[in-house]
């Protein structure tokens, strides 16, 4: 029984370490995504129609909000 507990403890430590690694990777990917979204919004605002209508930017905002979980 003690051997099984030791094995499970080591496996749990490995899972927690892997979880932390994946969490950090997800955080970096989220930061990169936010930067790219900011750049896209900047480019869209630069190419905005002269009359001030910019429906593409609204579409981008709504799709990014629906992509969050």
Write out the H or E segment, with its range, that includes residue 43: helix 2-46
The model's pLDDT over 11-56, given as tens digits with 9 standing for 90+, comes to 999 999 999 999 999 999 999 999 999 999 999 998 886 555 555 5
Q: Between 7 and 56, name the one with better pLDDT.
A: 7
Report the C-alpha gap between 15 and 7 in whole angstroms. Answer: 12
pLDDT-based confidence at residue 58 (cuts at 50, 70, 90) = low
Report the C-alpha gap between 37 and 9 in whole angstroms. Answer: 42
Q: Between 57 and 12, name the one with better pLDDT.
A: 12
Q: What is the model's pLDDT at position 17?
A: 98
Report the C-alpha gap between 23 and 4 in whole angstroms. Answer: 28
The domain locations on the chain are 1-46
Q: What is the model's pLDDT at position 24?
A: 98
Q: What is the model's pLDDT at position 48?
A: 84
Are the C-beta atoms of residues 44 and 56 closer than 8 Å to each other? yes
End-to-end CA distance of the chain: 41
């Amino acid at each position: 029984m003690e051997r099984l507990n030791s094995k499970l403890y080591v496996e749990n430590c490995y899972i927690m370490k892997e979880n932390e690694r994946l969490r950090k990777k997800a955080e970096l990917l989220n930061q990169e995504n936010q930067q790219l979204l900011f750049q896209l919004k900047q480019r869209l605002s630069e190419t905005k129609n002269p009359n001030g209508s910019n429906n593409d930017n609204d579409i981008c905002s709504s799709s990014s909000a629906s992509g969050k979980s």
